[in-house]
């Protein structure tokens, strides 16, 4: 018996080694090709599962992944941990303070994204044969589930895309994330209710009402009382000077385990508890960006690859491949998400130029679409062919959303940030020791500009925005910004801090280069373009080096003007800035 147990452990370790190595290796290739890693992770499972390896090399497949309950349970346990932590990370990415700031427009956008899919899902399910339903008697429940699949959004995927496009810290990025936050919370509340009802052997209205009430009440309790407790807890850790980020990570995991157990005990899925725990942690402003990033990296480098790879081990894609169903679900989900969001955007006060980009950002289902589908499959609500179709939908939309968003941005008129930078708005050596002081100094510089009389009063507004979502983008760069009434043209100031200022950056490094941007409220497109251009410029190591080595404000202004002038190649800007620097030194 002892030998038998050791053989299970040995094979389990081999399975983890193969799945993790292949999923991470192929995922890194996909990442370099600007494609979502989840596609690579699912493909690894497809190749190693019954679809490829089991079909063409059944002996090897049986040796690596035998049909042994004990062996399967060991791998399934790790897979379930993966989905639990994936939901925790998704919750952490949700920030209700941002959503509340954008509540008017965000709710209108989310409303269109929610209502339209429900109507289309009812129509689609009405024409679907019963063979695609796990239980033909649950047609209404099945319709609600399909509406949830069409509604659920890939918040983490879109956040990464916005970051790659240098839009995450902009007002447009705020609005997109806010609307997706509403969709995410609504989707998980509805899906939890559906799973709770679907788990009943026979439908009981009393039980259904109980699941609904408990699900909603738990969310309200967590987002009110729980939010305050969580905030105080993480602030206590911060002021107690406990070792970080390990202490915050431990509290995060304990909260997830506690709320997961409570949710399971109350008769709703434990995943809902993990999701709410993530929301609680995400609301704690004292939790640093570095700690959040560490949790996300741990989830996406360890648990997520194993979870998505094991999906392919469970399903034979060839046996459950239904082309007509795949085309129907893929086209329906893309169409209803885009059209529903567009309808919501048109009812909000969003500039026309941003509407297409916002609608595109909502078409991806990504990881969460797959998670809800796997839960529905395990609950017997859907059949394997529907699961395969949803997988194709998730992978397709995740692959399309990045290029489509980039194409939408490329159609806008290019902007040169150097246009709005005055020579006396450049400070070679900031005396500030905190971000509040740095912002105050830069605002004072802008206030001296002819069209900016009275601008000094905006310091509190800039800091309020900083507290909601910091503007440090990493690599020693921060771009605090604000849109204002009364301005006629954008204003840009720059300050350099040789010693560095703590700014709660994603990489944990101090900030040395600070750009302060103020734009009119009527130029939303210009605001986005300037921020994106500055972020692209400061990604270049050589550009940052030139800025850091400038001997004085005059030389620094010349270098910044060269780097931020639109229409010049990197090589031209670099050579020009180098000549200017050497001339200044002489």
User: For residues 370, 31, 357 and 154, what is the CA-based torsion angle, rounded to 10 degrees?
Assistant: 20
Q: In the chain, count of helices (H) and strands (E)?
A: 26, 6
Would you say 99 and 181 are in contact if contact means Cβ atoms under 8 Å apart?
yes
Q: Supply φ then ψ for residue 202, to 5 degrees.
A: -130, 145
Higher pLDDT, 255 or 143: 255
Closest by CA to 138, choosing from 389, 440, 383, is 383
Would you say 474 and 505 are in contact if contact means Cβ atoms under 8 Å apart?
yes
- Is the pLDDT confidence value at 342 over 50? yes
Instruction: List alpha helices for 33-102, DSSP H.
Output: 37-48, 53-56, 58-64, 69-93, 96-101
**How far apart (Å, rounded) are the C-alpha atoms in residues 31 and 398?**
12
Would you say 430 and 496 are in contact if contact means Cβ atoms under 8 Å apart?
yes
Number of residues that make up the chain: 586
H-run or E-run covering 560: helix 553-563
Q: Kindly state the average pLDDT of the residues 22-37.
A: 89
Query: Would you put residue 482 in left (φ > 0), alpha (ψ -120 to 50) or beta?
Result: beta
- Is the pLDDT confidence value at 572 over 60? no
Extract the tokens encoding 102: 């954008």
Amino acid 266: pLDDT? 81
- Is the pLDDT confidence value at 456 over 70? no
pLDDT confidence bin for 55, thresholds 50/70/90: very high
Helix or strand or coil: residue 317? coil
- Is the pLDDT confidence value at 208 over 80? no
**How far apart (Å, rounded) are the C-alpha atoms in residues 219 and 295?**
23
pLDDT confidence bin for 428, thresholds 50/70/90: very high
Residue 542, beta-bridge partner list = none
**How far apart (Å, rounded) are the C-alpha atoms in residues 422 and 392?**
51
Would you say 527 and 170 are in contact if contact means Cβ atoms under 8 Å apart?
yes
Pairing of strands 481-484, 477-478: unpaired
Q: Write out the DSSP string of 203-235.
A: --HHHHHHHHHHHHHHHHHIIIIIHHHHHHHHH
pLDDT in tens, 225-253: 888 888 888 888 878 888 877 888 888 88
Percent of the chain as helix, strand, coil, to the nearest 5: 70, 5, 20
Q: Which residue has the tokens 């969310």?
A: 219
Q: Kindly state the average pLDDT of the residues 325-352.
A: 87
Helix or strand or coil: residue 388? helix
Closest by CA to 124, choosing from 149, 91, 88, is 149
The CA-CA-CA angle for residues 583, 585, 586, to 5°, reads 65
- Using only C-alpha atoms, what is the Rg of the chain? 26
Amino acid 479: pLDDT? 93
Distance between start and end Cα atoms, the chain: 82
CA quadruple 487, 490, 494, 500: dihedral sign: positive
Extract the tokens encoding 408: 């939408």
User: Which of 259-263, 374-378, 523-527 is least confident?
Assistant: 523-527
Helix or strand or coil: residue 571? helix
H-run or E-run covering 516: strand 511-520
**How far apart (Å, rounded) are the C-alpha atoms in residues 39 and 101?**
34
pLDDT in tens, 125-181: 767 777 888 777 777 778 778 878 877 777 777 887 888 887 877 878 878 888 887
Give how far Cα 204 sits from Cα of 197, 207, 268, 270, Å. Answer: 8, 5, 15, 21
Higher pLDDT, 329 or 140: 329
Q: Write out the DSSP string of 407-440.
A: HHHHTSPP--GGGGEEEEEEESS---SSHHHHHH
Give how far Cα 447 sits from Cα of 176, 438, 486, Å. Answer: 31, 14, 13
Residue 511, beta-bridge partner list = 501
Give the other-Cβ count within 10 Å of 560's Cβ: 28
Extract the tokens encoding 325: 């169903």
Q: Supply φ then ψ for residue 405, to 5 degrees.
A: -65, -40
Mean pLDDT rounded to a whole number for the chain: 83
pLDDT in tens, 478-535: 999 888 877 888 889 999 999 999 998 888 899 999 999 988 887 777 888 898 889 9
**b/e for 506-544, b at 16 or more Cβ within 10 A?**
bebbebbbbbbbbbbeebbbbbbbbbbbbbebbeeeebb
Closest by CA to 521, choosing from 549, 493, 485, is 485
- Is the pLDDT confidence value at 3 over 50? no
**How far apart (Å, rounded) are the C-alpha atoms in residues 178 and 468?**
12
Residues 6+ apart with CB under 8 A from 325: 132, 385, 386, 389
Extract the tokens encoding 201: 């052997």
Higher pLDDT, 313 or 1: 313
Amino acid 454: pLDDT? 61
């Amino acid at each position: 018996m002892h030998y038998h147990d050791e053989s299970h452990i040995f094979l389990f370790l081999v399975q983890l080694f193969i799945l993790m190595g292949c999923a991470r290796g192929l995922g890194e290739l996909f990442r370099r090709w600007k494609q979502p890693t989840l596609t690579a992770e699912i493909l690894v499972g497809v190749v190693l599962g019954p679809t490829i390896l089991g079909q063409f090399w059944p002996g090897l497949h049986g040796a690596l992944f035998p049909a042994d309950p004990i062996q399967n349970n060991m791998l399934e346990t790790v897979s379930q941990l993966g989905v639990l932590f994936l939901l925790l990370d998704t919750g952490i990415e949700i920030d209700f303070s941002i959503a509340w700031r954008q509540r008017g427009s965000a709710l209108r956008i989310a409303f269109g994204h929610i209502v339209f899919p429900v109507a289309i899902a009812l129509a689609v399910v009405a024409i679907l044969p019963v063979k695609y339903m796990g239980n033909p008697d649950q047609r209404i429940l099945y319709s609600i589930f399909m509406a949830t699949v069409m509604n659920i959004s890939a918040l983490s995927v879109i956040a990464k895309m916005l970051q790659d496009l240098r839009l995450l810290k902009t007002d447009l990025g705020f609005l997109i994330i806010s609307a997706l936050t509403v969709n995410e919370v609504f989707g998980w509340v509805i899906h939890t209710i559906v799973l709770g009802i679907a788990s009943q052997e026979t439908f009981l209205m009393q039980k259904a009402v109980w699941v609904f009430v408990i699900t909603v009440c738990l969310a309200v309790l967590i987002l009110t009382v729980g939010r305050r407790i969580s905030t105080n807890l993480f602030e206590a850790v911060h002021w107690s000077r406990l070792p970080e980020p390990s202490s915050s990570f431990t509290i995060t995991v304990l909260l997830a385990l506690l709320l997961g157990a409570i949710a399971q005990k109350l008769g709703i899925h434990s995943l809902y508890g993990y999701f709410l725990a993530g929301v609680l942690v995400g609301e704690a402003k004292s939790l640093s960006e570095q700690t959040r990033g560490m949790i996300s990296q741990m989830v996406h480098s360890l648990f997520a690859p194993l979870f998505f790879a094991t999906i392919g081990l469970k399903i034979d894609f060839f046996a459950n491949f239904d082309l007509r169903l795949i085309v129907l679900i893929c086209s329906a989900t893309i169409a209803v998400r885009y059209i529903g969001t567009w309808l919501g955007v048109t009812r909000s006060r969003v500039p026309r130029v941003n509407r297409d980009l916002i609608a595109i950002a909502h078409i991806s289902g990504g990881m969460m679409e797959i998670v809800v589908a796997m839960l529905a499959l395990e609950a017997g609500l859907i059949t394997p062919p529907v699961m395969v179709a949803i997988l194709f939908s998730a992978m397709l939309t995740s692959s399309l959303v990045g290029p489509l968003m980039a194409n939408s941005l490329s159609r806008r008129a290019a902007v040169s940030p150097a246009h709005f930078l005055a020579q006396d708005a450049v400070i070679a050596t900031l005396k500030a020791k905190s971000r509040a002081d740095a912002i105050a100094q830069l605002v004072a510089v802008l206030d001296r500009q002819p069209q900016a009389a009275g601008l000094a009063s905006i310091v509190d507004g800039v800091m309020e925005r900083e507290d909601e979502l910091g503007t440090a983008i990493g690599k020693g760069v921060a771009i605090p910004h604000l849109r204002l009434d009364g301005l006629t043209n954008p204003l840009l100031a720059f300050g350099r801090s040789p010693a560095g200022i703590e700014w709660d950056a994603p990489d944990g490094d101090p900030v040395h280069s600070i750009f302060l941007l103020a734009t009119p409220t009527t130029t939303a497109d210009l605001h986005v373009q300037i921020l994106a251009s500055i972020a692209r410029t400061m990604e270049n190591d050589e550009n940052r080096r030139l800025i850091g080595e400038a001997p004085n404000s005059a030389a620094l202004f010349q270098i910044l003007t060269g780097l931020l002038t639109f229409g010049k190649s990197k090589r031209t800007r670099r050579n020009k800035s180098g000549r200017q620097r050497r001339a200044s030194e002489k």
